[in-house]
Every structure is written in C-alpha cells, then in structure tokens.
Amino acid sequence: MRPGLLTIAREWGRIGCIGFGGPPAHIALLRQLCVERRGWIEPREFEDAIAACNLLPGPASTQLAIFCAWRIRGRIGALVGGICFIGPGLVLILGLSALFLAGSPPRWILGAGAGAGAAVAAVAVQAGWSLVPDSLRRAGSRVRWVVYALAGGVAAATVGPWLVLVLLGCGAIELALRKMSATLVLAPLATAGTGGLGALAWVAFKVGALSYGGGFVIIPLMQADAVSHYHWLTSAQFLNAVALGQVTPGPVVHTVAVVGYGAAGLGGGLLAALVAFSPSFAFVLLGASHFDRLRENENAKAFLNGAGPAAVGAILGTAVPLTRALSETWQYGVLAGAAVLIFLLRRGVVTTLLLAGVAGVVIALAGGSLPH
C-alpha cells in the first residue's frame, strides 16, 4: 500500500529537521526509512539511485530525497517530499540570517559568528579529505586524477567565479581522452549576471545546476560574487554564512539563502533557495525514470571521472580563501583548535563549529576585537 502525502510530508519533514551532518546523515536516514523500516524501495534500487544522483550536478542528497519520494508517490510526492526535506533547514537558516546580519547585532552574536567562521577552513579540509579515498578508487588514471584535483584546488584558491569552467573543462578533457566529443555549451555563461536580483539568481543557479561534488564546492562559486563583486556580504559575514550552512539541518546548499538574505532581505533569501534547488527538482521530475540508464552511461561516468577529482581538489582549495578572510589574530588560534578537534580528536563538524562559536562568545565578552 502506497503511503499518503501526509506521511511523505511528515517523514521527509522529520529528516529535514534532524538531518545534521550533511549528505552521509541524509542518506543514512533515507535508507533507514525507505529501505529498512518501511520497505518502500528495494536495497539495490536505493543504491542505484545514490549512484545516479552522484552523477548529477547539484546537491546529491537533496536529489536522493526527491527521488525516493518520487519513487513512492510520483511527481506530486516528489514535490511534497522535496519541499518538506528542504523547508525546516531553510526556515532556520533564514531566521539565523536575520539575527547574524542585523544592522547592530549583540556583541555575543558577533563573537559566535567570528568564532564559528574561523573554524570553517578546517571543516573544508576535512570535507575534501574524506572524499579522496572513494574518488581515487573510481579513477581511471591516478596521474590524471592528481592533475584534475590540482586544477580544481588552484582554481578554488585563486579564481573562484571561474571554478565552474574548470570543473566542466576537466570533465570534457576526460571525455575527449576517451575519444568522445564534448562541447562546453555552458562556458559563455560562466560570468553571466546583470546585477541586482538577476545576479543573485545567477549565483544561485551556479550553486544548484553547475557544481559537481556539492557541499564546499559551492563556496568559491559564491565568495567572490557575494563579497568582492557585489558586496552583498563582508568577509566575516560570508564566513558566518558558511558556518550556518554547516550547523543547521538539511542540505549545505542552504548557505546560498544566507547570501540571498544579505543581498535582498527575506525575499532574496527565498529567491536564492528557489533558484538553487529548482534544478534538483527538474532533474528528478524529468529524468528519474532514466536513472538506471544514467548510472550505466559511459559518457556520464567519464565526465564525472574528470569533474569529480576537480571538485575534491576545489573543496580542499576552498580552505585558502576561507583562511584569507580571517581578520583577527585570535581567529587563527580558533582555526588551529578546530583542526585539532577534527583531525586528532575526531570530533564531528557540528560539535567543532559550536565549540568554536562558544570560544568566540567568550573572547567577545572578554573585550576581544571582532571582525568588521
């Protein structure tokens, strides 16, 4: 018996509320619900869906959540499940945006943001490093893997807005090396955007439709535009945005909503989220019935063999601009402490960021200087 839409809304909303920890947590919760507890989806089909979503650009765990709801209740189920999965974290992060981006937030709020933001570079390195073993196992050539990863890392560290071209280019090179033609039809669009809401929509679209690897790959795609080009956020506020995306439940892509809030208030945050998540709904609603073929498609796998390592390198390279954005000496101490917590003491990302935020509050209340 198929579950009702209210069941979809309740269960996917529950995962959206408790899904701290990013894609691994989301996948585990969806598997527990759909495969183990309710038996709505066969284990092999669930694993195939994971593989297919990993071949798509954008947030893979969000696409998997939408696919599972589609598999159970069709397109209307996909819409209900996807919205309920995304909604709780989006509401929370927009509320926190209003608090952290207020004209004159309390000093302890500024300290919490500065402390958590200081730890983000360590989180980025951990996120990238955790992807290396699996990515290397899938590599057709380890030499090319290193080249692609270096290209992604250098691009993320130096030319953030152009990172999307590097990801597409690495995928195209791998296709060409396997004697398949590839055309970068999206290349002329790499710097599109006319300012105002049009520019905000373009930045959000890059996050949702042109980024491979998800998570921290989106950071260099947004940082140069949000901070340096359009001045929607200061460097300190952008670090806050990244930290908020990590400590709230649901997909990390919620970070783009903070950028949207900084650009145009609540309406901007909602617009950015709508544009960023729309491609994920489109991929599933229009292509879910072909996911089994996508998983076996040699062109898609070859492209990902190039774009995937570049995305891993980009996540690691993101630590460079995130570290450069720090402005207070004590923040480097917090960053070092975060690295110890993550890599030596094996503490989780959410715990690390919360402790870094507490350290920032203590320093702020003790009279320490804060980023402007």
Tokens representing residue 93 in the block:
């992060």
Burial class (CB in 10 A: 0-12, 13-18, 19+), 142: exposed
295 Cβ contact list (under 8 Å, min separation 6): 48, 51, 52, 55
Amino acid sitting at position 89? G
Chain segment 246-296, per-residue pLDDT in tens: 888 888 889 999 999 999 999 999 999 999 999 999 999 999 888 877 777
| pLDDT value, residue 195 | 63
DSSP annotation of 224 reads I
pTM metric for this prediction: 0.82
Residue from 86, 156, 92 nearest 121 by CA: 156
For tokens 């690390």, name the residue: 352
pLDDT in tens, 178-233: 755 444 444 444 444 456 899 999 999 988 887 776 667 888 878 888 998 899 99
The stretch 329-351 carries a mean pLDDT of 94
pLDDT surpasses 80 at 153? yes
Question: Do 131 and 307 meet the contact criterion of CB atoms below 8 Å apart?
Answer: no
Q: What is the pLDDT of residue 186?
A: 42
pLDDT tens per residue, range 8-61: 999 999 999 998 878 878 999 999 999 999 999 999 889 888 888 888 888 889
